[in-house]
Amino acid sequence: MSSALNILLFTIFGNQSERETILFGVFAFIIILFLVLDLGLFHKQAHKISTKSALYQSMFWVTISTIFGFFIYKYDESGAEGAIEYFSAYLTEYALSVDNIFVILLILRYFNVKEEYYHKTLFWGILGAIVFRAIFIFVGAMLIERFVWLLYVFGVFLVYSGIRIYFEDGDEKIEPEKNPIMKFCRRHLPMTADEHGGKFVVRESGKLFFTPLFLVIVLIETTDLLFAMDSIPAAFAITRNPFLIYTSNIFAVMGLRAMFFLLAGIMDKFYLLQKGLSIILFFIGAKMLLEIGDIHIGVYTSFSVIIATLTLSIIFSILVPRKSTGEEEPEEEKQA
């Protein structure tokens, strides 16, 4: 009966339990429902998203993500430990999304995308992220199941990423023309210079043309894949359960768009968050490498470190003024 039910409730997870199959069904229903409602009902017409609306959406996705974590605690076999792993992976991805938001904002400004098209562009960008991250996570889970030593490769990569991000100056620069996929699109696809009312593809004289917004989507997708190179190995360092990794990752990504509209104008205020993220990546990578020497750091300790680091990064960003990169010249010197 149990195996028949598992076949009936078809799952893409290799060793997923019956309960996780049902929970994944709940997760998929929530994501699909709100994607359909979002594009088909709430945002049929292009318009600028207000800060108030972004705040409500952010609160909604945080609430939904938290409720799902409670479901894991209550109904999944992993219980409290699984819920803590879920929240640890969720918080790590959510925090890493702040850097992603800043780069997305630079891309949108680089292409002079009108603010009323931000929502639609981010919607399709996030939809692509849902698909590509699923591929990343499940291929990664398959490889790790066969080659356990890959976890230690991830550990080294996360330690390196943590050190690299810590010493970066935080002044993000984007060079879309150097992106190989962008070069391929410009060279091989028929392009139009007009945005055509926010469309991605248009037909002119019986021929299909791609608009600049299509290039923006391409660039956002490739950028997200680069960010996933940090966040997904970090999630595997927290838990090896692909169900927990994927659900926490996608809930964080779904909240990314609302957080974008909420934080776009004030992200520079949390300038120490990048340092906090680097410390988290270093800690998670080190935690994974310590397991080589049979030294295990518990999930509750990991969760506490992640929470404390993020909280202190935000508090100190607010309390400690950011040093200016250069002093302005006195007015008398400018006039001299």
Is residue 1 a part of any domain in this protein?
Answer: no
Q: Give me the domain span that covers residue 167.
A: 14-319
**Helix, strand, coil percentages, rounded to 5, for the chain:** 75, 5, 20
- pLDDT score for 327: 44
Is residue 327 a part of any domain in this protein?
Answer: no
> Is the Cα dihedral 238, 160, 257, 139 positive or negative?
negative
Give me 153's structure tokens.
């490769």
Cα-based angle 123, 124, 129 (whole degrees, multiple of 5) = 100
- pLDDT score for 11: 44
- For residue 232, which of 247, 245, 250 has the smallest C-alpha distance? 245
Q: What residue has token string 């009323």? A: 116
Phi and psi of 312, rounded to 5°? -65, -35
Predicted TM-score (pTM) above 0.85:
no
Helices 212-238/150-167 angle, 10° precision: 120
Helices 51-75/242-263 angle, 10° precision: 160
Give me 88's structure tokens.
């640890």
- pLDDT score for 87: 93
Give me 75's structure tokens.
């109904």
Is residue 96 a part of any domain in this protein?
Answer: yes
Task: Note the Cα 75 to chain centre separation in Å.
Answer: 26
Helices 212-238/118-146 angle, 10° precision: 40
Is residue 302 a part of any domain in this protein?
Answer: yes
The secondary element (H helix, E strand) that includes residue 105 is helix 79-110
pLDDT in tens, the chain (336 residues): 444 334 333 444 455 667 788 888 888 888 888 887 766 555 555 556 677 777 888 888 889 999 999 999 988 888 899 999 999 999 888 877 776 777 777 788 788 887 778 777 888 888 888 888 888 888 888 888 888 888 888 888 888 888 887 887 655 566 666 778 777 888 888 888 777 777 788 887 778 888 888 888 888 888 778 777 778 888 888 888 888 998 998 888 888 777 777 766 566 677 777 788 888 888 888 888 888 877 888 888 888 888 898 889 888 888 887 765 544 444 444 444
Is residue 243 a part of any domain in this protein?
Answer: yes
Q: How many separate domains does the chain show? A: 1
CB burial of residue 108 (10 Å; 0-12, 13-18, 19+) = buried
CB contact at 8 A, 75 and 23: yes
Is residue 129 a part of any domain in this protein?
Answer: yes
Is residue 267 a part of any domain in this protein?
Answer: yes
What one-character-per-residue DSSP string does 154-222 give?
Answer: HHHHHHHHHHHHHHS-S-----GGG-HHHHHHHHHS-B-SS-GGG-SEEEETTEEEE-HHHHHHHHHHH
Is residue 328 a part of any domain in this protein?
Answer: no
- For residue 247, which of 126, 78, 69 has the smallest C-alpha distance? 69
